[in-house]
Structure 1
Amino acid sequence: MGEAITDRHVVAALRPFVRATGPMVDALREADPFGLVAGSEAGEAGEEPELKPKSRARLVEGLRSVRVPGTTAWSRMAAGERTDWWINRVGRFTSLLTAVPGLGGALADRLPIQDTLGAASQGVLLCAIAGERGVTDVGDRVRLVAWVLFEREIPAELAQGRFAGHDTAEEDAETGKLTEELDESSRRYGKVTLKASARTLWRLGRSLLAISDELEKRPSGRFYHHAIGMLPVVGMVGGYFGERAGLKRVAKRADEWFARNT
């Protein structure tokens, strides 16, 4: 029998995870896609070019109404609506990435790949949801992720990394490694690409292998999702719908945590 995973082990794994996840989701949230926010502000200030073609004006106005981070429509959404956006829109993408190992059926099920990617995906979305609720402190996000995914009630002081043996420099180095793909993508292309996001998700998942026994506790699908997931090829379908069901449970548990702690 392996060594029991303590709260300190969980915190040591989650602090760099949360720190690496935060910049990714926060950058997306604060972004101004297509320059819509800037364009909207310019329009309100009367700085729009008078000779702009009507068709272009309609297009810009239509894009401003799209509910994505950075737009005027997004800023008017309630926290609950933004949570639904992360779970239902971004969650489809992360669920698909997580379900891909299901192509191998029972063989892939014996490996921690799906739980690894699944826990990372759920953790990313939890940090995004936390941001929409104004929860930006690393320690608070650690407590949120630990409670929702692993059913752990982490003391606030421990979640802040205030315990014997905690190495701040080591945590900084690990955080830097987890965000290497994002940094490189930003330097090379001026933005975070889909490929960089997928690779970072895998790195985030691997960082949780130190507490691999905890990953099995995360919210997941029903028994029939797991049964389908044991089959070759179609296992991906079962895995996808299982991850989608798990995300709904993640959102529900997150609401419970916010109600108790904010």
Structure 2
Amino acid sequence: MAEAIPDAAIVGVLRPFVRACAPLIDRLREADPFGARVADRLARVHMPGTEAWRAMTPRRRTDWWVNRVGRFTTIVAAIPGLGGALAQRFPVTDAVGAASQGLLLCAIAGEHGITDTPTRVRLLGSVLFGREISAELASGQRHDEDERTAELREGTEHRAPVRTAARAVYRLGRALLAAGAELERRPRGRWYHRAVGLIPVVGVLGGYLGERSGLKRASRKALRWIERNHA
């Protein structure tokens, strides 16, 4: 069995990841799927920036991220399932799946008032990797962090949120490859989701259902972590 990656290395992977997620989350939050905002209509719709959104509790906003944006990122994460068992031999599925979960966890953290990088790093470290990282370690910045963050943020400012998000999730997934076997610790779907995922082509369905299940589990774990660690 490979030796576990130290917490410091996990922090080195997560800090630029968390920082790169911020502008993408803003784009997804601000995106208007209707093409234009019509105040009288959207005031009754649960969308960021509306009166209905401002009246929602953080828990209900969390559900919005998981059920609306999460469906999209889950589809992106499930696409490697087209390769069936062949794709399962490589870490791309776990990397993209972890990136999808990490992006949504950062969004959930923001809805609960967690905006600083160290706390988000500790949250992702706990939920994705089962690591209880100290606040001091999570606050440490590496010399190349700004450069790595800029690379991961490339293109996220463009006003095409769907295409931008799809490309960004894959880019963020590649960044998480450095975590190696630790990616296998992330919340996953049920065994039967993984079984279907081994079948070529049909594996996309198993991958999608598995990623949806894993994302919901990740959100529940995140909420418990926030209740324990963030007043």
TM-score, scaled to structure 2 = 0.93
Asked whether the equivalents of residues 122 and 132 of structure 2 are also in contact (C-alpha less than 8 Å), the reply is yes
Partner of 2:68: 89
Amino acid at match of 1:206: R
Q: Structure 2: any 5+ residue segments left out of the alignment?
A: none
**Structure-2 separation of matches of 1:158 and 1:111:** 30
Partner of 1:216: 184
Question: Number of residues paired by the alignment?
Answer: 228
- Find out whether 1:160 has 2:134 as its counterpart: no
Map 1:236-255 to 2 at 5 A: 236-255=204-223
Match for residue 178 of structure 1 among 148, 152, 156:
152
Asked whether the equivalents of residues 95 and 174 of structure 2 are also in contact (C-alpha less than 8 Å), the reply is yes
Partner of 2:95: 116
Equivalent residue of 2:70, what SS? helix
**Structure-2 separation of matches of 1:32 and 1:91:** 14
Equivalent residue of 2:102, what SS? helix
What displacement does 1:193 show?
3.2
Identity fraction in percent: 54
What displacement does 1:35 show?
6.6
What displacement does 1:25 show?
0.9
Map 1:1-262 to 2 at 5 A: 2=2, 4-29=4-29, 31=30, 33=32, 36=37, 60-161=39-140, 166-167=142-143, 170-183=144-157, 185=158, 191-262=159-230
Equivalent residue of 2:156, what SS? helix
Asked whether the equivalents of residues 219 and 247 of structure 1 are also in contact (C-alpha less than 8 Å), the reply is yes
Alpha carbons of structure 1 residues 60 and 105: separation in structure 2 relative to 1, 3 Å: same
Amino acid at match of 1:225: H
Asked whether the equivalents of residues 23 and 156 of structure 2 are also in contact (C-alpha less than 8 Å), the reply is no
Partner of 1:50: none
What displacement does 1:61 show?
1.2
**Structure-2 separation of matches of 1:213 and 1:136:** 28
**Structure-2 separation of matches of 1:75 and 1:26:** 16
Q: Structure 1: any 5+ residue segments left out of the alignment?
A: 37-58, 186-190
Greater radius of gyration (CA)? 1
Amino acid at match of 2:102: G
